[in-house]
Amino acid sequence: MSNKLNNILELAEELHVIDTSPVSLVNDQIKAVTMMTGTEIKQLRAQHGMSQSMLAMALGMSKESVSKWEREEKKPSGPALRMLRILERLGPEVLLV
């Protein structure tokens, strides 16, 4: 099985666990996601050879949002932050399907 498919299956399994978990457990997991600094976001993007535009497209965000995160003018929202953490753990292939 390809690495990309394995990543997708792993993400699907994680989402299934969250979907079938009690609300209190899901809330605890959501709270556990730590904020990323602008430097961390920039390093993550560079590590995967992504431009700000590419990262923005993968996250469904604007390039301006990514730029503001990296300059620490704004912080990523909950869903965007979770997607950044998924990117950090599984790589960009899982976001670009």
**What pLDDT shows up at residue 97?**
56
How far is the C-alpha of 27 from the C-alpha of 49, rounded, in Å? 33
CB-CB contact of 78 with 87 (8 Å)? no
Q: Which helix (H) or strand (E) holds 94?
A: none
Domain ranges, ordered by start, for the chain = 38-95
Residue % of the chain over a pLDDT of 90? 40
pLDDT at 29 over 60: no
Which pLDDT does position 22 carry in this prediction?
65
Mean pLDDT of the chain: 83
Q: What is the DSSP string of 69-91?
A: HHTTSS---HHHHHHHHHHHHH-
pLDDT tens figures, 34-77 = 899 999 999 999 999 999 999 998 888 999 999 999 999 999 98
Classify domain 38-95 at the CATH topology level: 434 Repressor (Amino-terminal Domain) (1.10.260)
Query: Cβ distance 45 to 88 under 8 Å?
Result: no
Q: What is the pLDDT of residue 9?
A: 76
